Amino acid sequence: MHHLYGWFPQRDRTLPTAVLMVGAAAGVAVAAPVLSAVIAWWGWRWSFGLVGLAGIGWAAVWVRRGGQGPLAPGLPGRDAEAEAVTVAADTAGPALRRILRSPTVLAAVLGCFAAYWHMSSQLTWVPDYLRTDLGWNGTLAGAAVAAGALANGAVLLGHGLWERRSARRTERVPRLPSGAGAGLLMLVAAGAVAVFAVAEPLWARLPMLVGPMALSAVMMTVAQTACGRIVPAGRRGPVLGLVVGVASLGGVLSPVLLGRVIDAAPTAAAGYERAWLLTAALLAVSGACAAVFLRPERDARRLGVAADTAPAPGVHIA
C-alpha cells in the first residue's frame, strides 16, 4: 500500500486502494473452488504447494517489472528541491507515538481488525457451516465462498468509484466524511450477519452472504487511505505496516476463538449462531467507533500534516 501511494496524490488514492483490495478478493474467489478441487483430487498438501508456487511466480514478475512511483519519498533522480522539502517535512512532522495515538489510527485499527475477523470467519467457518448445518457438498460450499469474495470485490470497486466521483464535486456538494460512511456501512454489515445467524428460512440467509455482509470490506480501503492522510510520506510505510499487522490479528484469532465458541455450544447450529452474533457485535462496535472517530482531515490538521495534492507526472485518473 505504501508503494501504491507513491504513484497517486492523496485525493486519487481511494480508487487505486480499492483496486488493490479487489485483487485480494479476486484471489479468494479463484482460490476457493480451485483449492477445493485440488484437495479433493490430490490432498491438502498440494493446496499449500500450489499457493507457494503462485507466490514464487509473482515474486519473479515483481523483481522484473516492479518500480517506485514518481511520488515515492527518497526516489533516486527526483528533483533535489522537491526532495529537500519532503525530507524536511518528514523530519519536522509529528512524533510517531502521536500519530499512533490519534483517534483516526485507533479507529482504523479497530475497524480493520473487525473487517479481517469477518473475512476470516467467512473463509474458515462458512464452508463448514454450509456442509454440516445445511448439508451442502464441498464444491457447492466453495462456490458460495467464491460468490461472497466476488461480492467483496464489487463492493470495494464500487466504493472506490463513488469516492473518486465525490472527491471531484466535494467543493460543490457537501458529503458525509469517509470515516462516517464506512462506519455506517459496517453497521449495515453487522445487521446482515445477525440476520444470517438467526433467520429461519434459507432464502433470507444466503442473500446476506453475497450482499450486505460484504459492506464491511470497505473499512479496509478507508482505514488505509485515512492513515496515509495523517502520516508524512517518509513515515507512511511503518505506520501502514503496523496498522495492517495489528489489524490482521483479527484474521488469525477469528478461526480459533469462533471454533471454541462453536465447540462449547450444545449443538453445532447453536454454536454457529453464537459465533455469527459475536462477529456481528464486533462489527457494530467498530463501525460505531469509526463513524465517530475516523476523521483523517481533522487529525491531519491537529498533527500539522499537509495534504499531498501534487499530481504525479504521467499518472492521471480521468
Tens-place pLDDT, residues 179-194 = 788 899 999 999 999 9
pLDDT of residue 282: 96
As a whole number of angstroms, the distance between CA 178 and CA 103 comes to 14
Task: Give the separation between CA 185 and CA 212, rounded to whole angstroms.
Answer: 9
- Give the pLDDT of residue 316: 44
Give the span between the Cα atoms of 110 and 112, in whole angstroms. Answer: 6
What crossing angle do the helices spanning 268-293 and 103-132 adopt, rounded to 10°?
A: 160
Q: Which residues contact 120 (CB under 8 A, 6 or more apart)?
A: 250, 251, 252, 254, 255
pLDDT confidence of residue 172: 45
Residue 175's pLDDT is 52
pLDDT of residue 138: 67
* Residue 107 grid coordinates: 479507529
Amino acid at the residue 181:
G
pLDDT of residue 184: 92
pLDDT score for 92: 55
Global pTM reads: 0.74
Question: How far, in Å, CA of 299 to CA of 270, rounded?
Answer: 43
Helix 103-132 vs helix 14-42: crossing angle, to nearest 10:
30
- What residue spans define the domains of the chain? 2-303
Closest C-alpha among 238, 243, 300, 294 to residue 94 = 300
| Residue 293 CB neighbours (<10 A) | 21
pLDDT at residue number 177: 59
Q: Which three cell numbers stand for residue 19?
A: 483496486
pLDDT at residue number 189: 93
pLDDT at 147 (0 to 100): 77
Note the pLDDT of residue 174: 46
pLDDT averaged per 10 residues, the chain (length 318): 79 79 74 82 90 93 83 58 49 76 92 91 81 72 75 77 68 57 92 88 76 85 86 83 87 91 90 93 95 89 72 46
- The neighbour count for residue 52, using CB atoms within 10 Å, is 10
**Neighbour-count burial for 296-310, b at 16+ CB within 10 Å, e otherwise:** bebbbeebebeebee
What's the pLDDT at 279? 95
| DSSP SS3 for 263 | helix
Is-contact 11 167, C-beta < 8 A? yes
List C-alpha distances in Å: 31 to 1, 82, 115, 165, 306.
22, 44, 20, 32, 41
2-303 belongs to CATH 1.20.1250.20: yes
